[in-house]
Amino acid sequence: MNYQQVLEEIAVEVAPLLSKGRVVDYVPPLARVPLEQFGMALRTVDGRVFTVGASGQRFSVQSIAKLVPLTLAMKLHGDAVWERVGREPSGSAFNSLIQLELEHGIPRNPFINGGALVTLDLTLAAAPRTAIAEFFSQALGAAVQVEREVADGEARTGHRNRALAHFLKSFDNLRNDADAVLDAYFELCATSLSCEELARAFSYLANGGVGADGTVLTTARQAKRINAVMLTCGVYDEAGDYAYRVGLPAKSGVGGGVVAVMPGQYTVAVWSPGLDARGNSLAGTMALELLTTKTAVSVF
């Protein structure tokens, strides 16, 4: 497969979309990101890397980072994770409070904000606070960077996330101090990485739990299960459309990044900050759709 040629064709074909979409604006450093940017990096499980566009430029990974506390919670607690968080698509906004009330404080899945707070809480119950950045850095092979201005902005504007944390606490589904979990959450969202770095950090999901440097980061069973949850819950309220158009497990973030996994073959990361109405990168989704169309390979 000539991945390099495929990526170059994709970059040309998504160009008309780059001026469309909307950059997220709830914190100033994110609102300042210029709209018309695109990068993509694909890393095969045997370590070949193919890139196009601004693949080396860092951006705010936001919800993509929710993969880390889910992975850690599963490593630390095994199937007991699912007593505290569900694994069904939510069908409502990622920061909805109504659903959490109706479902007695059990978040629908680990990728809505309430679910990520619970996986962080599970992680913090069994490991030191530093374990989150340490795992992320180990997967990447370098220290991950938190953008302080973004983390502070998240903390200042994150009223709904604070409400979710205290709501979880009222159902006894948050065991640590709510502010400690929220601080970890805001920092995680403010992690800044490039497509090349994301494709490397999450290569363990394509390679049965084995990281880019050969370290075993999870069991093959856990990697398979994380991919399954990504497929059904990883792209906000757009999982059905993603499965239909792209056909890969994927996790997106409001910074405009998406990580997608073709198990046994590659991890791909794409970034374009213009979002569609549901919060996924407009050009990023099209790029992934073109990737599976041009290669004629998807999980289906």
DSSP string, 38-94: -EEEEEETTS-EEEEESTT--EE-GGGGGHHHHHHHHHHHGGGGGGTS--S---S-T
253 binding ligand GLU? (CB under 6 A): yes
Q: Does 96 help bind ligand GLU (rule: CB under 6 A)? A: no
CA gap 98, 112 in Å, rounded: 13
Return the residues of window 255-294 that contact ligand GLU according to CB under 6 A.
Answer: none
Tell me, what amino acid is at 245? Answer: R
Nearer to ligand GLU, 161 or 267 (CB): 161
Among 59, 94, 135, 242, binds ligand GLU (CB under 6 A): 94
Interface with ligand GLU, residue 238, by CB under 6 A: no
Select 40 or 254, whichever has its Cβ closest to ligand GLU: 254
> Between residue 133 and residue 162, which ones bind ligand GLU under the rule CB under 6 A?
154, 161
Query: Residue 6 or residue 133: which is nearer to ligand GLU going by CB?
Result: 133
Residue 59 neighbours by CB under 8 Å, 6+ apart:
33, 192, 193, 194, 255, 256, 257, 271, 273
b/e burial code for range 5-19 (CB count within 10 A of at least 16 → b): ebbbebbeebeebbe
User: Which residues pair with residue 266 across a beta bridge?
Assistant: 44, 262
Nearest approach, Cβ of 273 to ligand GLU (angstroms)?
12
* Residue ranges in 29-48 that form contacts with ligand GLU under rule CB under 6 A: none
Question: Using only C-alpha atoms, what is the Rg of the chain?
Answer: 18
Q: How many residues bind ligand GLU (CB under 6 A)?
A: 10
44, 63, 191, 203: which one binds ligand GLU (CB under 6 A):
63
* Candidate list 37, 51, 55, 62; residue touching ligand GLU; CB under 6 A: 62
**Residues lying near ligand GLU in the complex (CB under 6 A):** 62-63, 94-95, 113, 154, 161, 189, 253-254
